[in-house]
A and B are shown apart, each in its own frame.
Chain A
Amino acid sequence: MSSEIRTKSVTISNEEGLHARPASLFAQIANQFNSQISVTRGEESVDGKSILSILTLGATQGVRLIIRAEGTDADLAVQQLSQLVESGFDE
């Protein structure tokens, strides 16, 4: 299987932003993939598999993030993670 790169821009829609529980969900799902996953806010990029790093982005409602995955399952990873964010983390 060949390595691929996928990116997608998403907007935080849930009221409380990317706080502990959503960040936790995000990292949990990210960790299920082989791909390297990063999350970018403005100029800052962090490891999408690290809850601490995600939290330090301080992404509140309305903030735009870019999810980037690189690896064999990049397509699915970006699809699932962006869906999670856009659904407002099922809150």
Chain B
Amino acid sequence: MQILEGIPVSPGVAIGEVVVIDNEGFRIPTRFVTRDAVDDELLRMQHAFDSVAADISRNQTRISNQLGQQYGAIFAAHLQMLQDPTLVNEVTSMITAKHHSAEYAVSKTLRRYAKIFQELDDHYMAERAHDFFDLEKNLLGKLLGRRRESLSKISTPAIVLAHNLTPSETAKLDPRFVLGFATEVGGPSSHTAIVAKGLEIPAVVGTGHFLTDVSGGDVVIVDGDHGQVVLNPDDKTLRRYQEELEQHRSLAAELSVLRDLPAETKDGVRIQLGANIEFPHEVNACRERGADGIGLYRTEFLYLGADEEPTEEDHYRAYAHVIQSMDNRQVVFRTLDLGADKLGQLPRHEEENNPFLGVRSIRLSLRNLDLFRVQLRALIRASALGPVRVMFPMIATLQELRQAKMLLIDTMEDLIEDGYELEEKLEIGIMVEVPSAVLMLDKFLKEVDFVSIGTNDLIQYCLAVDRSNKDVANLYRASDPAVLRLIQSTILQSAEFGVPVNLCGEMSTSPKYVPLLLGLGLRSLSVPPSSVPEIKQVCRSVSIKQCEEIAERVMHLESAFEVDAYLTDQLRQIFPELAI
């Protein structure tokens, strides 16, 4: 048994067999083979080498005939590399001496060579690393044959382990078969983490290297509540987790009776409790859990799941499905909120030193108007189907808001010219997630119909902390008094202007912050569908008077630590089962 500590990014516990996915999306089924199987592995390896060599020779002949000898010569070099005794000996000895599987030995050895080349100073030489990745891919292709599985094809329940899962890989996971996942790298506010939460799959990231310690088929526990990954658990641990899994289920059953009850405080104040979603299919979860609407619909998945830029119709279909499924309950759409690095379809931007301070989110949209216009057209068209709000993310200046609004109005006029029948008015708002927006809020409030506080970014920009950097992650606290002042100021100013304010960050997912937020005057929250019952229960267990007393006290505290300790204590009194 081995226990790894990581960052919990999506709650719950999953127990199951492992599927290991390597960087290229290949699934390497096992890293080790039994002593008896060594001879078979050597045969498989030899066979793969011969087979790739034959392919290369065929290509060489074909290219030489088509383009001439000198073009075929590069294949001769590949062939020589493949048949190089140094390489063959290295792979062979990994299998015979360390009992590695042929796949693993091939991958490890060729990547080592690729790395040597990548590190060479010379640009031309560095490019040769591709030759090795190429050979690796070909060899793995032969070795894995039909057993090669891509993420989307996982068809039996399993826990996915990987060095890193890209957002698009995560988006392709089928939650029916993926019980949970753990990755060696990654941070808590990474897109992957948010997607995992959306899919309600327990997940732990940033555990450090462990893939060499597991093989496909091993049993693993992913504890998304405590950020632990248990490799090959002993019987006692396994039993303990199975019991915990049982408790999770019974608490969920207990909370499910709340579905048709309103999120209303003991003294009769109605709280709007919306849900945050990522994928259209999550509307089912929203309805099952009794959410008042969609408080945040992240639209990124359309860009991430596909290799090509989504068309207006792709957007429209997804949006229409969500709006129609919500039966006249409000849906708040957030326009594209991604960094340029995440969008394969755009021309490559220059490498950014600080992507979170770079071209992302609304900045990206305003620089790629063609891309933005497609999304806005679909949004405006879909707004005819039900109550819709449009929200621009990461607004830092008034100019950005005005540009975005202007584009929206322009697009609306285009659509009317094209003959579409549209609602006269579309409600427009901003995410308050850059401190400058809070400082300038009185100006913004005159130009928007609503605002929504995005705590994840607000905390990061207010405290200058990158949460995925483990050396400073402890500074990232929603309960930091400076963050709380920004939130309080936003709520008070919005109330003054009569503009509705919502909070849709991760902060509202934690039950202990709910009394504080209500006490600060917030009446609208949006949380992941899985958290709706829990948060509703908290709302129904408190009175506004009680919350205001809590807020009054908290706003005098001087550190995140004191705030957290006090709020945990309060929650224990209000709703003991939820206090962690």
- Which of A16, A27, A53, A58 meets B120, CB within 8 Å? A58
Interface contact A50-B86, CB-CB below 8 Å: yes
B133 CB to closest chain A CB, in angstroms? 14
A37 at interface, CB cutoff 8 A: no
Q: Specify which chain A residues have a CB less than 8 angstroms from the CB of B113 in the assembled complex.
A: 52, 56
Q: Are B86 and A16 in contact (CB under 8 A)?
A: no
Cβ–Cβ < 8 Å partners of A58 in chain B: 117, 120-122, 125
Given A47-B86, A50-B86, A52-B81, A21–B73 Cβ distance below 8 Å? yes
Query: Chain B contact residues: over half helix, strand or loop, or mixed?
Result: helix
- B116 proximity list for chain A (CB < 8 A): 56
B93 is an interface residue with CB less than 8 A from chain A: no
Is A36 an interface residue, CB under 8 A from the partner?
A: no
Contacts of B131 in A (CB 8 A): 20
Q: Which residues of B contact A53 (CB under 8 A)?
A: 84, 86
- Counting chain B residues whose Cβ lies within 8 A of the other chain, the interface size class is 20 to 34
Q: What chain A residues lie within 8 Å of B117 (beta carbons)?
A: 55-56, 58
Closest to B127 in A: A19
Q: Do B77 and A23 have beta carbons less than 8 Å apart? A: yes
Interfacial chain B residues near A23, Cβ < 8 Å? 77
Most A CB contacts (10 A, CB to CB) among B86, B117, B125 go to B125
Q: Do the beta carbons of A16 and B124 come within 8 Å of each other?
A: yes
- Give the chain A neighbours of B81 by CB distance below 8 A: 20, 51-52, 55
A20, closest chain B residue (CB): B77
8 Å CB interface, B98-121 against A: 113, 116-117, 120-121
CB-CB < 8 A to B124: which residues of A?
Answer: 16-17, 19, 60
| Cβ contacts under 8 Å, A83 to chain B | none
**In the complex, residue of chain A having the shortest beta-carbon distance to the beta carbon of B122:** A60
Alpha-carbon distance between A24 and B80 when the two chains are bound, in angstroms:
7
Residue of A nearest to B87 (CB): A52
Does residue A28 face the partner (Cβ distance < 8 Å to B)?
yes
Q: How far is the CA of A91 from the CA of B124 in the complex (A)?
A: 16
Interface residue range, chain A: 10 to 19
What is the CB-to-nearest-CB distance from B522 to chain A, in angstroms, rounded to a whole number?
61
Nearest Cβ on chain B to A61's Cβ, whole angstroms: 9
**B125, A28: Cβ atoms closer than 8 Å:** no
A53-B86, A58-B120 as given contacts; A19 in contact with B125, CB under 8 Å: yes
Cβ-closest chain B residue relative to A54:
B84
Residue among B85, B121, B122, B131 with most chain A CB within 10 A:
B122
Q: Mark A38-60, 1 if CB is under 8 A from B, else 0.
A: 00000000010111110110101
Partner of B77 from A50, A51, A56 at Cβ < 8 Å: A51
A50 near B84 with CB under 8 A, answer yes
Within B63-103, the residues touching A (CB, 8 Å) are: 73-74, 76-78, 80-81, 84-87
How far, in Å, is A22 (CB) from chain B's closest CB?
9
Find the A residue at minimum CB distance from B113: A52
Chain B residues near A28: list those with CB within 8 A: 80
Central interface residue in A19, A49, A52, by most chain B CB within 10 Å: A52
Asked if A21 and B77 make an inter-chain contact with CB atoms under 8 angstroms apart, the answer reads yes
Question: Roughly how many angstroms separate A47 CA and B459 CA in the complex, as a whole number?
Answer: 57
Which of B73, B77, B121, B131 counts the most A-chain CB atoms under 10 A from its CB?
A: B77
Cβ–Cβ contact B125 & A24, under 8 A: no
**Interface pair B76/A17, CB less than 8 Å apart:** no
Picked from A17, A21, A55, the residue with its CB within 8 Å of the CB of B74 is: A21
Cβ–Cβ < 8 Å partners of B120 in chain A = 58
With a CB–CB cut-off of 8 A, which chain A residues contact B122?
17, 58, 60
Min Cβ gap B72→A in Å is 11
Q: Does B44 contact A (CB under 8 A)?
A: no
Cα distance, A47 to B120, chains bound together (Å)? 19
Judge whether B86 and A20 touch: CB under 8 Å.
no
Interchain nearest-CB distance for B8 vs A (Å): 42
CB pairs A–B below 8 angstroms (14 shown): A17-B122, A17-B125, A19-B124, A20-B77, A20-B128, A21-B73, A21-B77, A24-B77, A24-B80, A28-B80, A50-B86, A52-B86, A58-B121, A60-B125
Chain B residues within 8 Å of A, Cβ to Cβ: 73-74, 76-78, 80-81, 84-87, 113, 116-117, 120-122, 124-125, 128, 131
Q: List 7 A-B pairs, minimum CB-CB distance, nearest first.
A: A24-B77, A20-B77, A58-B120, A50-B86, A51-B80, A52-B84, A60-B122
A24-B80, A51-B77, A52-B86 known, 8 other contacts, Cβ within 8 Å: A17-B125, A20-B78, A23-B77, A27-B80, A51-B84, A53-B84, A53-B86, A56-B116
